[in-house]
Chain A
Amino acid sequence: MAANEGALPSAWDSNRRSSNSRFLQVTDLRVKYIGTGNDDRDAAAIRSNYPVSKSLPFYYWEAQIVDKGRDGFIGVGMSAADVKLERLPGWEPRSYGYHGDDGNIFNGRGYGQKYGPTFTTGECCSAVRSVGDVIGVLFDRVERTISFTKNGRDLGVAFQHVMEPVLYPTIGFRTPDEEVVANFGGQPFQADASLFHRQAVARLHDEIRGQSLDKISKTPGNVVGRLVFNYCTHHGLWDTASLVARDVLAGTVAVSEAQRAEQAGLRRLAAHVRAGDVDAALEESEALGPGVLAARPGIRFRLLAQKLAELIGAGRDVEAMEFGRAVVDPAASTAEDHELLEDVVALFAYTDPASSPSGRLLTDEHRAELAAALVRALLAQSGKREFSALEVLHAHARALHAQLVAAGDPCTAMIPSVERFVAARGTPLEQEEDGDGDTAMPPA
């Protein structure tokens, strides 16, 4: 079953037998009642081969009445997996049906509620087999509703609080010669199904844009402005930070000199590492965060190993050998350290260390990565965060989105990604609106 998780209804399921399924003649999408139809015990229903995928926010299908048969006791709707098929949809618990003879809707009871018009093939023209009414069923998993259309016209919500996670398109018959053909999206629909999609997307976007930002922080005032200010100071954008403090936050915050000095120091530090000047980086580290290297032997070792690599890379082999023996080797304590040291020492074996298998140690990427790790260590040492609040929020939003996708939340089909949603400012994207034509199905 798991393999078919993404499968959609594509035909009627004639394999699932009930005591009354012998009354049904099934050809792909077409079903005809061939029983006696004496009383309600002769009713027979059939459902689609697959249920509506749980990840779909909504699903629409249509059924055309080919022949109303003797009395036109035809029910169109949805039903759960365990619903018996000897009754019309809506008569059984966990099934929902709209019945053609009286236009009533049924949910788990033998008596119905007034809902819409009747549907039939017409009194005068039952001989013309293709002019019967077309009934559409819209299952909206986000709003938990089922609505119907008749000949393309929306009849409004029929059922609310539809909680069943798994539902199958279902159709039921009761009198001889009743005949229906289904359209699970293989043919154009009578109703503008893309409109349902657009409406659903618009509803969801309105809901999200309607979220209140009043309680997002205990700090009063312009919280978004503060987030921007913190972002600027975190990244050392001092001109912007000062202007944001003045214009956005009306001078309620200010750039502190200590903050500026610390940022400048971290910048110098990173520049030293990137330039291959490890000695200067070691010195600057101690100045900025006394004890930081002693507290983090792992990062200290990486710096020493880098110094060794830089010496070899510069062709200062004698100096490098002495340094390696006297300083680097004794400092190696973990298995990781020894592995790194072996990598570095391998550089000795090549006339052109930079293009050797260990040459990555002498690339700009590697130095930049080491510089970033050192900056992180220093920020942690002074109790500061590695990322600004805004960046944490962004990452959190992405993680939440991934969780919702993993949980199979149908709404995620309408929120392709955090970035796209935000870039569109929460307004539905044009290409999403008309991208999937008349199937009302979001792209897989």
Chain B
Amino acid sequence: MNNFVMDYLVTEGYYEAAVAFGRETGTTTSANVSSAIERTQIRKAIQDGDIQLAMELLNDAHPQILEEQSGLLFHLQQQQVIELIRAGRTEAALDYAQEYLAPRSENNPNLLLELERTMALLIFDDVSTSPLADLMDVAQRQKTADEVNPCILRTQLEEAESQLPVLLKLMLWMQDRLKGKVVFPVIEDVLVAEPILAPSNEAAT
């Protein structure tokens, strides 16, 4: 299990936590450490709201990535607009959106929708009670950072998915496959993690 956890921290780009975990458990990793450090720096910049820095770091390390992955570029620029609005720099946010986001979303209905939602942030007095609260939430930064990480891993031909989600997916798949065949306890909520014999399960036999 320690290996799974170490893999998660390294793959997802949480280098500091990975180092602490290695120290506290004696778990080692064969992963590419410099890549992990670099991804951690980019993640940290995004989580701190410094999108400019994140994009510079990303461009230095992988000049082609933002060109090739236009969806990723759009989301980073969108995050930048959100950060400008958060900082109260409305003018700058408008300029930035006009220069970068608008041209990109013209021919893409999905991106256009996201652009509209982002720009709507400007008209709410209190965004936290608006339907757009999610955009201003720190979780949005996390979401953006989560999108960058696998993109970098893929360009480095490294595995983009860490092992823990694979464990959960395999567990879910096997659980589904057994349903209706064998009476066996089921875990409905992985954080509760209590295998329960579901009544529907029993009925199946």
Contacts and interface: CB of A to CB of B under 8 A. Distances in A.
A397 B167 contact: yes
Contacts of B166: 208-209, 421-422, 425-426
Contact of A237 (B8, B25, B174): B25
A211 B169 contact: yes
A393 B169 contact: no
Contacts of A219: 189, 191
Most buried by A among B3, B23, B189: B189
B175 A400 contact: yes
Contacts of B96: none
B61 interface: no
B177 A228 contact: no
A217 B138 contact: no
A411 B177 CA distance: 10
A407 B181 contact: yes
Interface string B19-52: 0110111000000000000000001100100000
Interface stretch (A61-69, A283-291, A384-392): A384-392
A279 interface: no
B151 interface: no
B201 to A, nearest CB: 12
Contact of A217 (B43, B167, B191): B191
Given A217-B191, A244-B14, A396-B187, A208 B173 contact: yes
Contact of A211 (B5, B173, B182): B173
Interface in A248-290: 248, 250-251
B81 interface: no
B18 to A, nearest CB: 8
B193 interface: yes
Contacts of A418: 167, 170
B191 A389 contact: yes
Given A209-B161, A222-B142, A248-B12, A393 B178 contact: no
A404 B178 contact: yes
A230 interface: yes
Contacts of B4: 390, 394, 422
B47 A207 contact: no
A238 B20 CA distance: 9
B138 A397 contact: no
Contact of A240 (B1, B20, B182, B184): B20
A150 B127 CA distance: 66
A199 interface: no
Interface residues of B, number: 52
Interface string A218-229: 110111101110
B167 A422 contact: yes
A397 B171 contact: yes
A400 B184 contact: yes
B177 A404 contact: yes
B120 interface: no
Interface string B148-176: 00000000000101111111111111110
A400 B8 contact: no
B195 A396 contact: yes
B184 A403 contact: yes
B116 interface: no
B170 A426 contact: yes
Contacts of B161: 209, 425-426
Interface string A329-365: 0000000000000000000000000000000000000
Given A227-B190, A404-B177, A244 B17 contact: yes
Nearest to A204: B173
A393 B23 contact: no
Most buried by B among A213, A248, A409: A248
A130 to B, nearest CB: 45
Contacts of B12: 248
A423 interface: yes
Contact of A243 (B14, B169, B177, B195): B14
When A and B form their complex, which 6 residue pairs have the shortest distance between CB atoms, in order from nearest? A389-B193, A243-B17, A211-B169, A400-B174, A239-B20, A392-B193
Interface of B: 1, 3-5, 8-9, 12, 14, 16-17, 20-21, 23-25, 43-44, 47, 138-139, 141-142, 159, 161-175, 177-178, 181-182, 184-185, 187, 189-195
19 contacts: A213-B168, A216-B190, A217-B192, A219-B189, A228-B8, A239-B23, A240-B9, A240-B17, A250-B138, A389-B190, A390-B4, A390-B5, A392-B194, A400-B171, A400-B175, A407-B181, A418-B170, A422-B4, A427-B159
